[in-house]
Amino acid sequence: MKSDLPKVLHHVAGAPMLVHAMQSSEAISPSRMIIVAGHGAELVETAATAYNPAAEIVLQTEQNGTAHAADQARAALKDFTGDTVVLFGDTPFISSDTLTRVFEARKTADVVVLGFEAEIPGGYGRLITQGDTLLKITEAKDCTPDELKINLCNSGVMAADTATLFDLIGEVKTDNAQGEYYLTDIVGIANARGLTCAVVTCPEAETLGINSRTHLAQAEAIFQNRRRAELMEDGVTLTDPATTFLAFDTHIGRDVIIGPNTLFGPGVTVETGAHIKGFCHLEGCHISEGAEIGPFARLRPGAEIGDNARVGNFVEIKNSELATGAKVGHLTYLGDTSVGAHSNIGAGTVTCNYDGVFKHRTEIGEGVFIGTHTSLVAPVTVGQGAFTATGSVITEDVPPGDMAIARGRQVNKTGLGAKFMDGLRALKKAGKRP
């Protein structure tokens, strides 16, 4: 990857590819999840436990092959009874359905390997089969010319009884072109013992391993195209699918309309019937039924948009709630704010929520009208049915039903505007500045 960041922490659809692999495993409801980390282990642990606090981290201080990596979990699983599946943090798209089928196959086979039919087998390990039996896995560098013609390839994913898995790993040797401990060798060892080995196949796209920035871009495209198709199949309208970008955990209800050039960061839920107009950027927010967002709106983490609320163009909302029917038309920033039902926030309104050290809240009641270009200096409360005059700087609470006017009195100085401009022009002509 030519990066200081561990490979598995590079993002696809707003999440580290490691998180995608962890998410895939949730379909089988694992009782234990163990992450084998080498380079950048502290960063890997932080990302893994942020997604799943129960994830356990074990260290691989030397990188001596895939069997060596899997063997690092031996001590952690010494008392565990049940099956273990080995996944790869740089292979993010193994589907939940595929993993379920792997475990179904475990009912009749001691070792199950996930394979795929490759259009161009290239450097993939080959699965050598006889009928329904998997005889061995041969790495491409160790294949014979005939074996290289096989297009049934190894994804790396495999499952076995835990005790059996580590028993087989204990017999793996390094007599191969790389001089490493290959996890794939356990298939040949299992067959030599009279154990049964089987193959489950999946589409090649699921097995994409990411080893470069080019692969990362390919993975992003695969995810986006797949997720867009799923949403449209589920009743979501994407007016320009190619410019709608989704996160790994985006949830969108039916009859939602999404305009072009819209980006969903992590943690977004959009309820039925909402309308997201073009050029919006959404992350960490919840948009309720019938709400209308954009165009050119930005919803940041903690934004909660109520039923039938309206957020217009060039509005930014952070850690704030808009109740049912509230309207924020344009050119406004709301941070750490609650807006009551059916209140109207005028253009150019700013909640001044940060004093340089602490954040403070602004509370706006129901049926409030905030005049254009109002600055609300938090902490401050505007009561139900109150009104703020255009251009006001509100520093004190406004009682329910009151009108707050907080601006300097206008004074007109006769002729001073023209005289002032004439003076400036004279200075410019003389090559001087005021």
Query: Is there a catalytic annotation at residue 10?
Result: no
How many Å separate Cα 214 from the centre of its chain? 19
Going by C-alpha positions, the residue among 16, 24, 1 that lies closest to residue 48 is 16
Q: Inter-axis angle of helices 41-51 and 17-25, to 10 degrees?
A: 40
Pairing mode of beta strands 344-345, 369-370: parallel
Going by C-alpha positions, the residue among 269, 246, 247, 267 that lies closest to residue 256 is 269
Q: How far apart are CA 99 and CA 337, in angstroms?
A: 44
Q: How far apart are CA 189 and CA 184, in angstroms?
A: 10
From 330, 342, 360, 373, the catalytic residue: 330
CA 20, 21, 25, 31 dihedral sign is: negative
Q: Residue 364 pairs with which residues in a beta bridge?
A: 339, 382
Cis peptide before 295 (omega within 30 of 0): yes
Count of other CB atoms within 10 angstroms of residue 353: 23
Q: Angle at Cα 72 formed by Cα 47 and Cα 184, nearest 5°? A: 105
Catalytic residues: 330
